Structure 1
Amino acid sequence: MHGIRIYNATLWIRLELKATANFMPATNKSLILWVFRLISGSKNVFNDEEEFSKHTAMVAKHSISVEKLGWQEIDVTNAVRAWHSEKTNDSLRLFVDCSGCGNKITIHLFNENQNKAKESLLKAQKLNPKKMRNPDEAVVDYNRPYLFVSLATNHVKRLRRRALDCTGAPNEQCCKQKFYVDFKALKWDDWIIRPHGYYANYCKGSCLLPDKFSAEYQYVVDEYRRQGQVTGIHQCCAPTKYSPMSLIFYGPGSRVIKQDLAKMIVEECGCP
């Protein structure tokens, strides 16, 4: 994790009304989500409020209107940065409580039921190995909390060739032009959680300069083309290297899904 810093961190938690008959919550009712960090080495169960205060530190306070239940986004950047700076092997443990939820509103958190279901599946597999499947995939709780952490490097990676970027490149030479895709501008921000946008980039420019050719073959063919001995052959400035990106979005039934998409970002351009 050397050279890596925490850019931001958000905790996503889902709240919903329990299926209780004849219950209509007051529309002006306000709930408060409290997020605490359990101090390293402390236990998970406390006998009283004094003991709880001694072994925890408040991370965030998040107010919610009953009319706006569902997925809640809570900024926990400072807590994650503090944990990361400690450079220990201890896990980051967060405690979540709700003021005003009572027994009418469900907070979807990790619970023992999921672990018990996983253990039952493992026992069943031992009895019938022919029906083996991954227990982690079989017991997926899409309503569980998610901690999204965006990382940034402290050192800017130097480009091998400055001409790859259109900034500072000779006029009309094939180069990579930065291009930012804003999901809000596309009106996709209602289903895409992260990122809010990304640099897709594109290639532009001419392929007449030999230093942009990817191999001797292209240079020889281009010499023939220049002399008019070969017609219909034109090299184009095009992507030569891509990189993937991760997308976090709402799937069917408001499930939060993370998917890695290949070839989403143009990293380098050339004349293949």
Structure 2
Amino acid sequence: MAGGRPWLRLRLTRLLGLAWLLGLTELAALPLAAVPRDEVQAAALQRLREVFDIEELPPDVLPRKKPPQFMVDLFNKVADANGITRAPGLLEGDVVRSFEDRAPVEQDRFFFDVSAMERGEQVLKAELRVFKLRRRRVARRADPRHFCKVEVYELLEGGSNPQKKNLIASRLLSLYSEGWEVFNVTQTVSKWVGSINSNHGFLITATHLLSNRIEHDLVAFAKGQGNLQESRNALLVLFTNSNKRRSSSFVPSSTKLNPAKNDALLRVPRESKSRTPWAAAVPSSRSQVTACHRRELYVDFHAIGWSGWIIYPSGYNAFYCRGSCVFPLGESQNATNHATVQSIVHTLKLSQDVSTPCCVPDELKSLNLLYFDDKENVVLKNYKDMVATRCGCH
């Protein structure tokens, strides 16, 4: 027992540091021995779920399931390898949801379960993405016999042989082309989100241009979850706005983090001994204080047990700000005019209640996560103000 107590005390100390970081001051303020380890850990992880807007953790699905290539390509387009947004405005909305076809392989219908949509989520655009397979027979492109009209219908009733349907989109396609076809189905899907029971799926038909007849074997679209066809399975892709205000408190200030108290969740490297202190700092009898600057703060999703459902990234560097904001404030400290005046008032002791300005994030970037939700749909979500890219005195 005696050999385990120092380890337990160290673990509790680290968890208390995490509690301070996530704003759980009511727990972190308690005496160390009075805080149960499990309680601190549960509270900290619950706060982290709130920051990432996750009500319940999805089940681990990796590496059992391969994400749609379209979603992987979209993530790589809008974010770097660490999930940091490449440029604002590349993503329409802040959430992209993909739903794979759930209709039986033998049916020519397509069904997508959109019940995973959150309350209040606004659909900006919905795309039906289907992969058209090439017919084997070769023919001349200019021959009208080798073109067809493809029509997409919303099914208005269920059952094995529904008759009522509503035309959504149509276009001419070559019988011998192959590739992804994308249809705008925003209006239909918006209706489904408002009334889940109205969702009976899509029907795609092909009509020969000369005979003007629907032929079921005229055009084939990829279906099924087989290894060869999985990347070609039909997708319903929704671009949405979550309409939720997300907390930016995940990026800590120097007043919330004690670097001596950190867990595997947050890896904070120690200050390099070779770092040069701010030369313009006011001399004091104590050792020279390091000026306000940015330090590394790595969030490891594997360490907190989230790696089984988060596809990309495996973790990210949130960074945090630490250091002094004493007079005189240099250009490198990105000080506001207010902070400059405050530092002068503090230095001249014109008021006993005025402290030095705080070293805080001065510029923030958003983070993108690609992950499986609780129904194994792949979601790309953008979180604002998650990475401190610059620090300043405020």
TM-score normalized by structure 1? 0.48
Structure richer in strand, relative to its length: 1
Greater Rg by CA: 2
